[in-house]
Structure 1
Amino acid sequence: MSDASASPASPAAALPKLTAAHITCSRGLADWLRANQVSLAFTSYQTGRLYLVGVDDAGSLAIHEVGTGRAMGVWADAQRLVLATAFQVWRFENILAAGQTMNGADRYYVPRVAHTTGEIDIHDVSVLGDGRIVFVNTAYSCLSLLSPVHAFRVLWKPSFISKLAAEDRCHLNGLAVRDGEVAWVTATSRSDVISGWRARRAEGGIVIDVVSGAIVTEKLSMPHSPRWYDNKLWVLNSGSGHLGTVDLSSGDFTPRAFCPGFLRGLAFHNNHAVVGLSLSRDGSFSGLALDDEMKKRDADGWCGVQIVNLGSGDIVQWIRIEGAVSELYDVAVLPGVRRPMAASFTGPEINEPMTFEM
């Protein structure tokens, strides 16, 4: 089967107009995606967009924007996307069969299920081995699951959080899954008062072992996006601009690469790390070691995505965004996907194509 029977309406026609975002990419990015048989996804809560990056039939880079409202954590595999937005968690499903295409895309993700949580400032989201969706409930300083009745179900909280309240006490933000279970989380501090983490941005950032409750390290600065890959715990030490690993015994952080931005969003594929970068801003992102690192390198900040070769630590491919988008939150890889597209639940394309199961 070559093409689906119906074509979606143009997403651009249904979305609010934005100040133009200028996107540039490294010359070899399309070839890298094709050689590694992977596509990318990244989110911008600032502009309410999910971006899908693949390669078209001519071998050129194809970037598809999907209007979602505030777009935060994203989890993906070849057939499904899970996305956290301002007050909901959405599940997107690919409707194309193997070998089927639509408008040149080999995956077309349609939003099928939305769970309303209310505004709890969800950050990272993932899927456990048993299929349950887990997310970081930053406002309430805990890990949560979806509940069929309530806004959320509490799965776990740090031992130093004395009360579940919508106070963003420690800025719990990232989660790492190992063998289908949540294994580690990151937080900006171990504060137990409302917004207490804001006075602890430069140091005291922590990684917690969820099973034991032990703090693995508190030597980081605004850590984000812990991920288990190649039998190592990788973390973005966002306050310094470094991707690196945390030793589970000593808690020591070993930098692997410096990326010129405030880092959030980390995924892996074929011995490469895909890292999201945001521009620094006044307030939460200022007054950090990152400022000195940038001055030392005579560097300007980036918003975009950089791909790091884990063997050499070199940045081998990149996407840079200027203009309307200055901050990203998360990134994901879509293995085995050539060109992904998706329907927005904010536009008319949600009605086409109308597929059904028999």
Structure 2
Amino acid sequence: MNQPKPFDCEYSPQFAELLGKLGISLAVSTYQAGKVIIVSPVDNDRLIQLPRTFSGAMGMAADEDRLAVATTHEVVLLRNEPGLAAGYPTKPGVYDSIYLPRASFYTGNLALHDMAFVNGKLLSVNTLFSSVSEINSESNFTSVWQPPFISDLQPEDRCHLNGMAVADGQIKYVTALGQGNQPHQWRDNKMSGGVLMEYPSGEIILDNLSMPHSPRVYDDELYLLNSAQGELIKVDLRQKSYEVIVSLGGFARGMVRWGDYLFIGVSKLRHNSPVFADLPIAKTSFAGVIAVYLPYKTVVGFMKYTMSVDEIYDVKIVPSLRPSIISADMDIHKAAYALGQQSFWKEPEKSQSQSQSQPSPKSYSTQVIKNVALSVIKKKFAALINNNLGSNGTYGNMDIMTALVVVLEQKPAAMALIRMKGEKSFTVPSFKVLPDHYGRGVEQYLVRQIDIIAGQNKINWDNRSDFFDEK
């Protein structure tokens, strides 16, 4: 059995098939892991993920070819440049869209929650200042609304304003975890003090909610997440009541619709907090995404993280089967030029310090050791084998494998083991890079060598989607 890898997940068989049928991918933000993760279908049975670094990623806004991401201290605006997708330098012909950073607004740490593009403006729920705010280049933010019970604009997170529903080009409803006007007063009754308000009047439609998030208007009906109860609820505005549509089994936050389906983010409960210990979802919570078929009010698929991700904030639709997203920390975005109808890639420039301190993947070579017993490989390359390989009895010492060893200056740096499954497919049960070679492109180099072997021999790599070679 392989060692767990970053962002390992499990998912229902229907989940990948559903994304493929709808022709979409998902963008998932996780502030705990500091990532935006693109989740795409490979085929009807498999998903592939593309995690990108956005520190403290929370609220996102998606509109046509734009994507905005709220991070710890700024909001990053990205735009899809489809003319650049097919020619992505290290993966030509793989992507059908690519989102590149176009602007950054330095907001400071506002704990920005829900965001949306509204009539040409980027609006966000500014939780620190208990305000709905416009994000622009004029200042850190411009406050456009506060609940009537908030007396002034102060960085005190008085009511934990968090959710915003937009319909017909305007904000309709907002959610908060309380109605306090003192610093962090929402914490006094956070498990049952939540409110749903009409915008802009601030009229309380529902109270006594359990940490509500993500109000959304779909087909003139209002839905929201009663988060701490793990519930998707539908609001009766006239009766000022609600019905539970489906129980989700985790702390629910982040919701988006595509056709008749809702995709809802769920998070693990913070089990060290006595506040959550007695909740119904305390024993079932997990981090992932749940698909709900709205006409039947039922869960029809899920993906569940087993590594790296504990909390999810937002989920958005990317209308593409294989999108890429480039974060500002990736040098390759400096090589992309989009000029309206024209677009170009050029070779990324490297600083002198980079070129001197880090070997290029071209400096590495690969040794292929064919058809060797696992016991022989273990003796020669013990440090390059996943520690638990064969520990559960899946592979025996006499299993025959092929070793691909990456070498730098006559010293092994990384190794992958290939084990055939019949004549037309293989798996990679072990893949390991020595710590001294992290961040130098060795992982991607080794994956490409495996791809070359698969292509030359016309065989399928069954567990390729487990390896994050998307740089």
TM-score tier (shorter): 0.7 to 0.9
Provide the C-alpha distance between the structure 2 equivalents of 1:229 and 1:193, rounded to a whole number of angstroms. 34
Say which of 281, 292, 295 aligns to 1:294.
Answer: 281
Provide the C-alpha distance between the structure 1 equivalents of 2:95 and 2:46, rounded to a whole number of angstroms. 13
> Does structure 1 residue 90 correspond to structure 2 residue 76?
yes
Aligned to 1:189, what secondary structure does the other structure show? coil
Match of 2:33 in 1: 47
Over residues 50-95 of structure 1, what are the superposed CA-to-partner deviations in whole Å (9 max), with x where a residue is unaligned? 0111234898422111111110011224411111111111111111
Match of 2:104 in 1: 114
Say which of 145, 154, 162 aligns to 1:156.
Answer: 145
Match of 2:165 in 1: 176
The offset of 1:167, in angstroms, is 0.5
Provide the C-alpha distance between the structure 1 equivalents of 2:16 and 2:25, rounded to a whole number of angstroms. 10
Kept after mapping to 1: 8 A contact 2:261/2:294: yes
Aligned to 1:239, what secondary structure does the other structure show? helix
Kept after mapping to 2: 8 A contact 1:101/1:107: no
Over residues 106-157 of structure 1, what are the superposed CA-to-partner deviations in whole Å (9 max), with x where a residue is unaligned? 11000101111111111111111x2210000000000000243211111100
Match of 2:114 in 1: 124
Match of 1:203 in 2: 192
Match of 1:340 in 2: 323
> Does structure 1 residue 324 correspond to structure 2 residue 314?
no
Over residues 275-324 of structure 1, what are the superposed CA-to-partner deviations in whole Å (9 max), with x where a residue is unaligned? 101110157x7535x844237xxx52211000011122221111101232
Provide the C-alpha distance between the structure 1 equivalents of 2:11 and 2:87, rounded to a whole number of angstroms. 25
The offset of 1:212, in angstroms, is 2.2
Match of 2:224 in 1: 235
Partner letter of residue 113 of structure 1? A
Kept after mapping to 2: 8 A contact 1:280/1:286: no
**TM-score, length-scaled by structure 1:** 0.88
Identical-residue share of aligned pairs (%)? 32
Provide the C-alpha distance between the structure 1 equivalents of 2:209 and 2:45, rounded to a whole number of angstroms. 41
Provide the C-alpha distance between the structure 2 equivalents of 1:38 and 1:291, rounded to a whole number of angstroms. 37
Seen in structure 2, the aligned counterparts of structure 1 residues 341 and 286 have a Cα distance that, compared at 3 Å, is farther
The offset of 1:251, in angstroms, is 2.0
> Does structure 1 residue 185 correspond to structure 2 residue 169?
no
Alignment of 1:277-292 (within 5 A): 277-282=266-271, 287-288=275-276, 291-292=278-279
Alignment of 1:219-258 (within 5 A): 219-258=208-247
The offset of 1:97, in angstroms, is 3.6
Aligned residues: 334
If you compute each CA radius of gyration, which structure gives the higher value, 1 or 2? 2
Seen in structure 2, the aligned counterparts of structure 1 residues 33 and 186 have a Cα distance that, compared at 3 Å, is same
Provide the C-alpha distance between the structure 2 equivalents of 1:55 and 1:232, rounded to a whole number of angstroms. 30
Kept after mapping to 2: 8 A contact 1:201/1:239: no
The offset of 1:23, in angstroms, is 1.2
> Does structure 1 residue 76 correspond to structure 2 residue 62?
yes
Kept after mapping to 1: 8 A contact 2:114/2:162: yes
The offset of 1:98, in angstroms, is 10
Say which of 311, 315, 320 aligns to 2:299.
Answer: 315
Kept after mapping to 2: 8 A contact 1:73/1:83: yes
- RMSD over aligned CA atoms reads 2.2
Seen in structure 2, the aligned counterparts of structure 1 residues 81 and 169 have a Cα distance that, compared at 3 Å, is same
Match of 1:36 in 2: 22
Provide the C-alpha distance between the structure 1 equivalents of 2:153 and 2:138, rounded to a whole number of angstroms. 19
Provide the C-alpha distance between the structure 1 equivalents of 2:218 and 2:274, rounded to a whole number of angstroms. 30
Consecutive unaligned residues in structure 1, runs of 5 or more:
1-17
Provide the C-alpha distance between the structure 2 equivalents of 1:27 and 1:81, rounded to a whole number of angstroms. 29
Consecutive unaligned residues in structure 2, runs of 5 or more:
343-471
Over residues 159-187 of structure 1, what are the superposed CA-to-partner deviations in whole Å (9 max), with x where a residue is unaligned? 00012111100000010001011111000
